[in-house]
Every structure is written in C-alpha cells, then in structure tokens.
A and B are shown apart, each in its own frame.
Chain A
Amino acid sequence: MKKFSKPGWLSGRTAVIGIPYFWLAICSLLPFLLVLKISFGEMDASGPFGTLLNYADGVVNLKIKLTNYIYLAMDDLYIIAYLNSIKYAALTTVMSLIIGYPFAYFMARASQSRRSILMMLVMLPFWTSFLLRIYAWKGMLSNNGVINNFLMSTGLIDAPIHMMNTEFSLMIGMVYSYLPFMILPLFTNLSKLDVRFIEAAADLGSTPWSTFWRVTVPLSKSGIIAGSMLVFIPCVGEFVIPDLLGGPSTIMIGHVMWDEFFSNVDWPMASTVTVVVILGVLIPMGILNKYQSEDEQKL
C-alpha cells in the first residue's frame, strides 16, 4: 500500500503519465513557442530565426515586433478568412451533429451483432487514404463527374450543375470527413444511457418525442460537447479539403497560412496567423472543457 500512497518521482505511475506529457512538450509546446517567437521577429537575410534579445553597450534589448498582429487586425483578407473558418467549422459541426446523432442513437439501441456491423461501416472510410477520398469527391461532383453525367444521361438536366469549388462541395467534403469523429463519442455516451430514465419519463406521461428532448439529449450533453470539439477544432484549421473542394469564395485560414509560408515566404506573418488561430480555438475550448468537467462531477 505504501508504494501506491507515496509514489517517488521515478515510479511507474509518474513514468506512465510523464511520457505523453514529455511527448506533448517536445512535439507540441516547444514548436508552438518557436512559432510564437517567430511571430514577434522579422524576416532577414539569414531567415526568420534571428534572436529577439540583443546585447549592446551593457544594455539587454528585447525587441518584440507587434506589426504583424496589428496588420492582421487591419487587413480584411485575414479577418474574412478567420470568419470563414469559424463559419464553415461551425456549419460542419452542426451538420455532423444533425446527421450523426440519430445514427449514434440507433446504433446504441441496436442489437449487439448489428451494432458491430454499423461500427464497421463508420470506421470503413479510414481504411483508404484521406486524400484519395477527397479526390474521389472531386470526381463525383465536377461538371463532368459521376453525378452530373448520370443526371444528364437520364435527361433530368440539360447542362451540368456547377457543384465543384463552391460552399456546397466544401461542406460535403468536410461533413463527410469529420462525421465519424462526431458519431464515435456520441455512440459511447448514448450506449451508456440507462434505459430506466427513458422508462421513467414514459411512465410520467412523457411522449417518446418529448422524452428525447427532455431526457435523452440533456443526458448525452457531454457526448455532444466531446463530438463537437473533435469536429470543430480540426475543422477551423482544415487546409486540404478547402484547397481541393473549396473555391475562391471559401478561403479559410489554413489556406492563408499556407500562402504566407510558401508563396510569400513571410514566416513571421504566417506565425502570427497560426498563433491567433491556436489561441482563438484553445481559449474557448478551455472554458468549455472546464464547464463540462464541473458538470460531469455532478452526474
């Protein structure tokens, strides 16, 4: 018992918890700090890695350049890209929730054998490359793609419907890709829901519809939050899907970031964009997470 109550700093327990933290520190926190540092510096002949600290004449100078942040706040391009990102991420989250919740609900209620088949179907897309699947959508949605060809051959339409590089194609690609991340936490949550609560509600005169909204949905709140976070966060920074399926009107912040790094080779500006995205996602999520864990304790 003593071994468990007083773990030394090198005990197994510390190691097990420590390794992932160490990994996160090296591979996530450190790069972020580097990016943060670059965002305050400037591009010179030797690249973006000049030091912020200068020593001259017995004085230590710390030079923090805020121009990039100010520029970011003034330029429409960035603001529109940010707003677009949040808009499309939010839309993707809502649509995944609308499609995913009923699916997860019936999956949780299905018999054991049918449950595994449905679970397989949710996981199946992961067996092929993500990039390949997005390209496949290109083939489906383009003017001479599968859908238009089919509709024209049946004579339903005379000219192809323009679907590619629009908001429509972007949303199809985003919802399609992120739906499993919504379904899985919802399924886990809903399969744990005690059927006695549903019965108790029915017993007290609640119709199935009313029971769904007043008992099932509130009790699966933590699943809804978890699924929404898993979809929303990566969606904000999504680059590949808008690049392949989106158009000029659907510029998202991931694309702007890519442009700054590789087209403009303005690393400090690109870093600034990155820092703002990360903080913009982390802070609200942190608040939500805290609220959720407080709520969990009550249940």
Chain B
Amino acid sequence: MGTVESIKSADTGASQDKPFLRINNLIKEFGDNRVVKNVSVTINKGEIFALLGSSGCGKSTLLRMLAGFETPTSGEILLDGKNIIADAPYHRPINMMFQSYALFPHLTVWDNIAFGLRREGMAKEEIADRVEKMLALVQLDTFGKRKPHQLSGGQQQRVALARSLAKRPQLLLLDEPLAALDKKLRERTQLELVNIIEQVGVTCVMVTHDQEEAMAMASRIAVMSDGVILQIGEPHNVYETPNCRFVADFIGSVNMFTGTVVEDEPDHVVIKTPECSHYVGHGITGTPGMAVSVAIRPEKIAVSAEKPEQEHNYVFGEVIELAYLGSYTVYHLKLASGAVIKATVSNTARHGAFHPKWGDKLYACWEDDAMVVLTR
C-alpha cells in the first residue's frame, strides 16, 4: 500500500452492505497468456460497480466470465452464495447489455425485448405486460413495431437496456454501455441509465475505459491494469487517494514528482525532489531516504505572479503552453529542472484581471494536504 490513507480507503465504500457477488482468485489464461491474474472482489447487492481500465487490461474477459462466455482457468464466482462457474450462459440469472448492443436485426423492438421471456416459457399475456412495462421504462412506448435499424443510436441503447432488464436478472452486466454514443448524448444517457438501474434495483457490473463514465455512474470503481485490480474504491477515494502511480496517472490528470524522504515525523514528512521540497501534512509508512513519488492534481495547484509566502510546496516556471477550455484554463509551466507541470485555473469571473500569457514567469504553489505520496 502506498499511503496510510489509501490503506483504509482501498476497499471501503458500501462494505457494511450484504455481499452479493463474490469473485475469488479468478484466473483466465489463453494459451500461455494470463489475461486475468488472480482477481478477487466482492460486490454488494444493488450497487453499480465499474471495472475501469484501458483496452487489453482483462476487464472484458472478466465480464465475459461473469456472463459465462469464457470459462475461468481457476477460481470461483459466487452469486448469492452459489458457485455459477459450471453453469451455461443460458442458465445464469445474469443478463448483459452488449457493446454496440447486438440487437437482433431480424426482430422488432418488441420481439427483441420479448426474446428472453419467450425462452423462459412465460405466458403470452404476462410477456405482453412485461414488454409494455419495459418499453415504458425506457420511454419507447410507441417504438415496439420498429426494427432496430430504424432507431437512432440512443434509442437502440435503450432497447438494449430494456432487453437485458426484461428477465429481471439478479445481475446486470454492461459492456461499454455508452461507447457507441456521441459525447453530448453520452453525458445525458449516463444519468438516465443510472436512474433506470436504481429504479429497478438491480446489482450491476459495468466495464468501461472511460474514467468519467465510471465516476459518474458507479458507486465503486475497480481500476484494472494487466489483469490485476490495482485499487477498489468509491470514485472520490480513487481520485483523491490513488494507491499507486498507475492509478494516479490513469484517473484524471496528475503532476508526478519523484524524490526521497528527508524528514519523517508522525505528523508530517518532507520530501526532496529536484524541483522543490514538499511538505506533506500527514505521516507516511516510510523511512528517511526512501524513494517516493509525489502526485498533485492540476486543479489543486494555484498560480500567481508573486512569490508565495511559504518555505515549501511551490515552484517557479515559464508558461510554455496554455489551453483555454471555457470553464477552466490549463497552464503548462516549464521548471528550471526541465520538468513540465500542469495547473488548472477555473475561470470564475468573466473578465478576470489575472491572465498569464505565453512566456510569462509564474509561481505555482499548493497546500500541504494537496499531494499524495506514492511508493509504487
């Protein structure tokens, strides 16, 4: 564990809730290639759990093992206490919303939603009733007779959701649920999707490579890399107290300094890096002389033209790049050491007085609780 803080935050969140899905020591190998390496995770009833990682990190394979499309090399998957590893996909009380939806092109919207119910041998009136309810839930009441190709991307996504919820699964899997939508629609759909899932009350595991999507939708996030879960936690925990360099760098944007611990006290530490000395306002589990990284989020850095009145936690550099993004501006400062740091300044006033330009020399400073000390 990297920091004292991150030890307690690694698996908190709704931990007092009842565990519903348990994945124990799950391993998946394709030939010699171990894609999922000994993953264990517990997911509680009713939560939206996101597996976040870049492509090839094993998150999709993990999801496919839950659905039953891949057989694990070893390990167990306990759904409500029962190991489902040996069950065929069509016997699992789990439904999946596929990436780009996989709606049956030869069936109408109505028949797509009814597909799973019919396989169950449900009575005709009951099917009709359930399909109508599902159509109402996703606000597509009048679209039942259409074929999937006659719908927009957003509508197709809602049909896919309705189809995967129609059987009232115990576990809902979402594979990149919003990847096929454009940005504007994606933001609106995120909240809509969460609303519907919470309304139904189904436990949900989603896979995404988009950290904003994961943070907006999930109650807890697991960051995966190279077949391993690096950190599990609520979105703000993962963002504010990443437990390793990879997580800090993968979630959001970060400035990373590497140096050594020069002063190690219970209530503070001082870390010397080539750029400056960092005064961290809490203790760490380390020893003097230990090599560590200091991670600071760009929005926690303030910039000013005057030298700040503090001994530590500031640098001096030249603006080599600035990007005005409307709600905030990103400044890239080149320091004497050659390192470049990013600082964001939110544009709260329409015509603020402080507008640094290219080539301006600026001070950048931060509070003693702004940084996270990472050892791995």
Contact = CB atoms under 8 A, between A and B. Distances in A.
A294 interface: no
A204 B98 contact: no
Nearest to A198: B102
A206 B98 contact: no
Interface in B245-286: none
Interface in B81-140: 88-91, 94-96, 98, 100, 102-106, 115-116, 119-120
A299 B106 contact: yes
A125 interface: no
A219 interface: yes
A199 B105 contact: no
Contact of A206 (B67, B68, B115): B115
A106 interface: no
Nearest to B147: A298
B163 interface: yes
B106 A218 contact: yes
B96 A203 contact: yes
Contacts of A202: 68-69, 88-90
B149 interface: yes
B115 A201 contact: yes
A196 interface: yes
B106 A203 contact: no
B167 interface: yes
A123 B147 CA distance: 38
A199 B120 contact: no
A207 B118 CA distance: 12
B51 to A, nearest CB: 18
Interface string B146-184: 010100000000000001100100000000000000000
Nearest to B105: A299
Nearest to A200: B102
A199 B63 CA distance: 13
Contacts of A204: 90, 95, 115-116, 119, 163, 167
A267 to B, nearest CB: 49
Tell me what chain A mostly uses at the interface: helix, strand, loop, or mixed.
helix
A215 B107 CA distance: 9
A192 to B, nearest CB: 12
Given A203-B95, A204-B167, A299-B149, A219 B119 contact: no
A205 B149 contact: no
B320 to A, nearest CB: 42
B67 A203 contact: yes
A199 B60 CA distance: 14
A196 B98 contact: yes
A211 to B, nearest CB: 8
B104 A206 contact: no
Contacts of A203: 67-68, 89-90, 94-96, 98, 164
A116 interface: no
A14 interface: no
A205 B98 contact: no
Contacts of B164: 203
A205 B122 CA distance: 12
Nearest to A208: B90
B167 A197 contact: no
A298 B88 CA distance: 32
A210 interface: yes
Contact of A194 (B67, B90, B91, B102): B102
Find the residue from A194, A200, A214 having the highest chain B CB count within 10 A.
A200
Contacts of A196: 98, 100, 102
A76 to B, nearest CB: 44
A210 B105 contact: no
A221 B105 CA distance: 12
Contacts of B102: 194, 196-197, 199-200
Contacts of A299: 105-106, 149
A298 B149 contact: yes
A219 B105 contact: yes
A214 B118 CA distance: 11
Contacts of A219: 104-106
B104 A197 contact: yes
A37 B67 CA distance: 67
19 contacts: A199-B69, A199-B102, A200-B96, A200-B102, A200-B103, A200-B104, A201-B104, A202-B68, A202-B88, A202-B89, A203-B95, A203-B96, A204-B95, A204-B163, A206-B119, A214-B115, A219-B104, A298-B149, A299-B106
Top 7 nearest A-B pairs (CB, nearest first) are A204-B116, A196-B102, A200-B102, A205-B119, A202-B89, A218-B106, A206-B119
